[in-house]
Structure 1
Amino acid sequence: MSDEHVHVLTGAYALNAVGDEERETIERHVQDCMACAEEVRELTATAARLGTAVAAAAPPSMKPQVITWIKTVRQLPPDVEAVSVVPRPASARARYARRLVLAACVAAATAFGGTAAWQFQDAQRAEQRAQQARQETTDMARVLAASDARTVSGSLKGGARATVIVSRGQNTAVFLASGLPDLADGKTYQLWFDNDGRTMKPAGLIGDDGAVVMEGDIGKATGVGVTVEPAGGSPQPTTTPLALMTLPA
């Protein structure tokens, strides 16, 4: 399988529905393709949330109602209008975007000297962040696909929902949250590994999308906590936890 076709398998990869050879190709590809890495990250987070959803039983009256509607409701006519669009593969879009960024930096360096140097440094920082995001995407997918992956979900103060997927074999945990309220400037959400209520070890900050691979080894941690801390985080919690979730053994 060529890298040019990897972008069509990101969904299957997120659901752990690819073979070993395809998985290796995809993981190698996302190291260099920011667009595919971001897509895999979003799809794996969505898949994890769907996996923790609670199914609701259909009411007994639904089946006879549907049968009645089938007999009386006309089928919509087919949509005959078609627009031929040939999308550019995600990998090509990412490469094209990177070329534009570099070209812009070179042009600015020629025209504006010192200002261009600052722009180039900014582009370098952006690329470093992209590399970190790609690595986190790969780490997250491996935890979700681990044979010993276990999941625990709970509610946070304020109505948000959180899920932790932990693999003791890989000594790694993934945190997913939805509905987190926006914080005031200078504040951030921070994660902690709880050791039987005796100590709290910093485990990273929660990003805007609510999905993050927790930092540090799980070790003998028995739970995960979430607090609101000053921007940049704290070495120890400074506020009452919004939630304390017990990790699966």
Structure 2
Amino acid sequence: MTQDSVILSQTRVGVCTLTLNRPDKLNAANDELLLTLTTELRRAEADAAVRVVILTGAGRGFCAGQDLGDVSGRDMTFTEHLNHTYNPLIRTIRTLDKPVISAVNGVAAGAGASLALAGDIRLWAQSARLIEIFSNIALVPDSGSTWFLPRLVGYSRAFELMAFAERVDAETALKLGLCEHVFADETFMDDVQAYAERLAQRPANALKLTKQALGAALTSTLDEALDQEAALQQLAGDHWEHQEGVTAFKEKRAPDFVRAKD
């Protein structure tokens, strides 16, 4: 893709980095960006060379939310807009059969906060900030925020962050569980790449099934989760990765989940 594209894509060592590329607007989302990002995620999913996906932003921002100028005066309801753009994108991230890392390099506001929260892993730069800004314009948090945020920080804290549109810095985010790691701004993308490459060395099929199991368990009973685990465990056990792991254990060596063959 050219540097003029709203989404930049680069794959290195099994890691596909998708970069939101509207830096002059802090990567505020328009239809083109949202639809292109969804397409690029599906392309990464279909690429056997890609084992991990990183989502990040160009310049100083991760994503400042909806570009209001892009929807001003449009003959489309809020519901129609969400169902056309954001909702398919969030569903794609959550159902992608590869791990998705949200690399939050700067401000993540509104729907951009939802995008930051949607990743399987969230890595933040020290200067990153998150704000559920919807209430400042008398709107309801959308694009998955009402689902993600209370599961991470609890109902009451989520309501408070949304009601007051509180800005959350990286140190607070780490304490609240909004991110797994915080890295220095100067080395952020190098640190994220190194983390992603470590993840890319793990068993891809097992991680795909683990993601399915966790997603199902979030809305299931214990009995349903146990049944799901049993079914997915069979799929994992029948895969060559499992045999490689067992063989490596017996041979007292590190397993090779990338180059091993059937």
Q: With structure 1 as the length reference, what TM-score do the two structures score? A: 0.29
Q: Which is richer in strand?
A: 1
Q: Which is richer in helix?
A: 2
> Larger radius of gyration, structure 1 or 2?
1
Q: With structure 2 as the length reference, what TM-score do the two structures score? A: 0.28
